[in-house]
Amino acid sequence: MSTVLSNFATWKHFLADRVSQAKKIGMTEETISSLAYEIGTFLDEKVDPKNEEERVLKQLWDAGDEAERKTLACLMVKLVQKS
Protein backbone atom coordinates (compact mmCIF):
# COMPACT_ATOMS: atom_id res chain seq x y z
CA MET A 1 0.00 0.00 0.00
CA SER A 2 2.79 2.45 0.82
CA THR A 3 4.17 2.11 -2.73
CA VAL A 4 0.80 3.12 -4.14
CA LEU A 5 0.61 6.07 -1.78
CA SER A 6 4.09 7.42 -2.46
CA ASN A 7 2.95 9.22 -5.62
CA PHE A 8 -0.44 10.93 -5.88
CA ALA A 9 -0.86 10.14 -9.58
CA THR A 10 -0.20 6.46 -8.80
CA TRP A 11 -2.75 6.61 -5.98
CA LYS A 12 -5.37 8.14 -8.29
CA HIS A 13 -4.72 5.47 -10.93
CA PHE A 14 -4.96 2.72 -8.29
CA LEU A 15 -8.21 4.16 -6.97
CA ALA A 16 -9.62 4.56 -10.49
CA ASP A 17 -8.89 0.88 -11.20
CA ARG A 18 -10.65 -0.18 -7.99
CA VAL A 19 -13.68 2.00 -8.79
CA SER A 20 -13.84 0.52 -12.29
CA GLN A 21 -13.67 -3.02 -10.89
CA ALA A 22 -16.40 -2.22 -8.36
CA LYS A 23 -18.68 -0.94 -11.12
CA LYS A 24 -18.02 -4.04 -13.22
CA ILE A 25 -19.23 -6.29 -10.43
CA GLY A 26 -22.36 -4.19 -10.03
CA MET A 27 -21.66 -2.00 -7.02
CA THR A 28 -23.73 1.16 -6.85
CA GLU A 29 -22.26 4.66 -6.66
CA GLU A 30 -23.54 4.86 -3.09
CA THR A 31 -21.73 1.67 -2.10
CA ILE A 32 -18.52 2.79 -3.80
CA SER A 33 -18.66 6.16 -2.04
CA SER A 34 -19.31 4.42 1.28
CA LEU A 35 -16.25 2.22 0.75
CA ALA A 36 -14.21 5.29 -0.20
CA TYR A 37 -15.24 6.87 3.12
CA GLU A 38 -14.12 3.74 4.99
CA ILE A 39 -10.79 3.76 3.14
CA GLY A 40 -10.38 7.46 3.95
CA THR A 41 -11.01 6.74 7.63
CA PHE A 42 -8.44 3.94 7.58
CA LEU A 43 -5.84 6.10 5.83
CA ASP A 44 -6.47 8.97 8.26
CA GLU A 45 -5.94 6.72 11.26
CA LYS A 46 -3.14 4.45 10.04
CA VAL A 47 -1.12 6.06 7.25
CA ASP A 48 1.08 9.15 7.27
CA PRO A 49 0.72 11.37 4.17
CA LYS A 50 3.51 10.66 1.69
CA ASN A 51 3.25 13.81 -0.44
CA GLU A 52 1.79 17.32 -0.51
CA GLU A 53 -1.52 16.27 -2.08
CA GLU A 54 -2.09 13.67 0.61
CA ARG A 55 -1.22 16.21 3.31
CA VAL A 56 -3.86 18.59 1.94
CA LEU A 57 -6.44 15.80 1.80
CA LYS A 58 -5.63 14.83 5.39
CA GLN A 59 -6.01 18.44 6.53
CA LEU A 60 -9.37 18.67 4.77
CA TRP A 61 -10.42 15.32 6.23
CA ASP A 62 -9.41 16.37 9.74
CA ALA A 63 -11.22 19.72 9.41
CA GLY A 64 -14.48 18.12 8.28
CA ASP A 65 -17.27 16.48 10.18
CA GLU A 66 -18.63 13.07 9.15
CA ALA A 67 -20.90 14.46 6.42
CA GLU A 68 -18.09 16.56 4.97
CA ARG A 69 -15.73 13.59 5.03
CA LYS A 70 -18.31 11.52 3.15
CA THR A 71 -18.54 14.33 0.60
CA LEU A 72 -14.75 14.40 0.26
CA ALA A 73 -14.70 10.62 -0.29
CA CYS A 74 -17.41 10.94 -2.94
CA LEU A 75 -15.47 13.73 -4.65
CA MET A 76 -12.33 11.59 -4.72
CA VAL A 77 -14.32 8.85 -6.48
CA LYS A 78 -15.61 11.39 -9.00
CA LEU A 79 -12.11 12.80 -9.48
CA VAL A 80 -10.59 9.47 -10.41
CA GLN A 81 -13.47 8.59 -12.70
CA LYS A 82 -12.73 11.69 -14.76
CA SER A 83 -8.98 11.04 -14.90
pLDDT in tens, 16-74: 999 999 999 999 999 999 999 999 999 999 999 989 999 999 999 999 999 999 999 99
Report the alpha-carbon distance of residue 30 to residue 63 in Å, rounded: 23
pLDDT recorded at residue 4: 75
With contact defined as beta carbons under 8 Å apart, do 76 and 40 qualify? yes
With contact defined as beta carbons under 8 Å apart, do 76 and 83 qualify? no
How far CA 37 is from CA of 10, 47, 67, 71, in Å, comes to 19, 15, 10, 9
Q: Is the pLDDT of residue 5 over 80?
A: no
